Structure 1
Amino acid sequence: MTEPITPEPTDEGDSDIAATDAAEEDEEELDPFRDDDPTLQGLRNINSLASWTVSTHKPTCGVSALLSPAPHTYWQSDGPQPHTLTIHFFKLVHIAKLRILLDFRKDESYTPTRMQFLAGTGHHDLCEFGGWEGQQPVGWQNVPLDGCGVGGGRGLRCFLVQVRVLENHQNGKDTHVRGVQIFARDGRVSQREDESDVESDSSGMEMLEEEEAPGKKGGAKGKSLFDLKGLGGLDEPDWMRDPIVR
């Protein structure tokens, strides 16, 4: 009588789980709404304050796909280089952070490798303020803003920002950009910090008044209000003491 053959365990299930975990990690890495980035503390997204236009785009791959919160949507150009993205704000803004979402693993030859950034009050006075170059980028790419502010400070004041994609990986023709986010300083955060500073100062004054209160009570009993012993251990001079009847 032959014994039943037991199939040997395989690692297919484990490999499937590992692949799923890796895919989830990739999606998390490209999630535009990640709130665990410490560099975003004290900033707020101002994408909604601007009008967005692109030079060309494939059907269903225009501005709405670029600004979609889903990382699998993207803007795909459909024309000659350079491909341009123009962001026109309806008021003067102070940009503190600008970043672009790219994914070489999915886009390959559609991935930008060299970009140019310009800003101004309109199309007539655009000036280049920075550039970016990279090979096989994955995730959010920060655009350097050092030296763009007044006196060489960090930050950018403008009405209009333009992104120009000059080159793609392996000289690809069209481009894929999966997201763009622009941030400004959040005045509400600084206001809360100022209010907390005022509260701490007022509490400090209350504590100081409470410490001075015993001295004032002592003065009412005929003691001197000046305590020079707390200032380096000096004794109170005779002429400052209470008069003595002799």
Structure 2
Amino acid sequence: PNKTSPGAYPKQLERTGTVWETGSLAVWFLSSYKLGFIVDQLQVDNLETYWQSDGSQPHLVNVQFRRKTTVKTLCIYASYKSDESYTPSKISASVGNNFQNLQEIRQLELVEPSG
């Protein structure tokens, strides 16, 4: 299997055939959002756009695939320099067949992330 560097830009990797972006095969839901900072901001190929939540924590992004889909890598761009107080300090990934049986598979603490 091909190994990729943790900071590699996903679109560049997709062009090499190393990864395949599957987000367009899913339905995305947000726990909350500020006007103008909606789910579409997460899916455009522009690092200047972002989702901004306006609700109580935890802030959730729920990605549901229409059929069983294997996801091997999850790429999230976070920039403390750009976002400061809005940058997440903890990210958790969970998987399951439906919202009621989600199992956390990974939790990551972020300290002033850049990339």
For normalisation by structure 2, the TM-score amounts to 0.85
Amino acid at match of 1:64: D
Partner Cα separation in structure 2 for residue 134 and residue 71 of structure 1 = 18
Runs (5+) with no aligned partner, structure 2: 1-6
Partner Cα separation in structure 1 for residue 72 and residue 21 of structure 2 = 10
On the 8 A contact 1:50/1:87 being kept in 2, the answer is yes
Amino acid at match of 2:93: F
Amino acid at match of 1:47: G
Structure number with larger C-alpha Rg: 1
Q: CA deviation at 1:43?
A: 2.1
On the 8 A contact 1:58/1:76 being kept in 2, the answer is yes
Match for residue 235 of structure 1? none
For normalisation by structure 1, the TM-score amounts to 0.41
Match for residue 128 of structure 1? 104
On the 8 A contact 1:102/1:111 being kept in 2, the answer is yes
Partner Cα separation in structure 1 for residue 102 and residue 112 of structure 2 = 29
Match for residue 3 of structure 2? none
Matched, 1:96 2:72: yes
Partner Cα separation in structure 2 for residue 59 and residue 32 of structure 1 = 27
Change (3 A) 1:136 1:30: farther
Aligned positions of 1:48-127 closer than 5 A:
48-127=24-103
Partner Cα separation in structure 1 for residue 47 and residue 29 of structure 2 = 19
Runs (5+) with no aligned partner, structure 1: 1-28, 140-246
Amino acid at match of 2:99: H
Amino acid at match of 2:34: K
In the comparison of the two structures, how many residue pairs are matched? 108
From the two aligned structures, give the one with the greater strand fraction.
Answer: 1
Q: CA deviation at 1:136?
A: 0.5
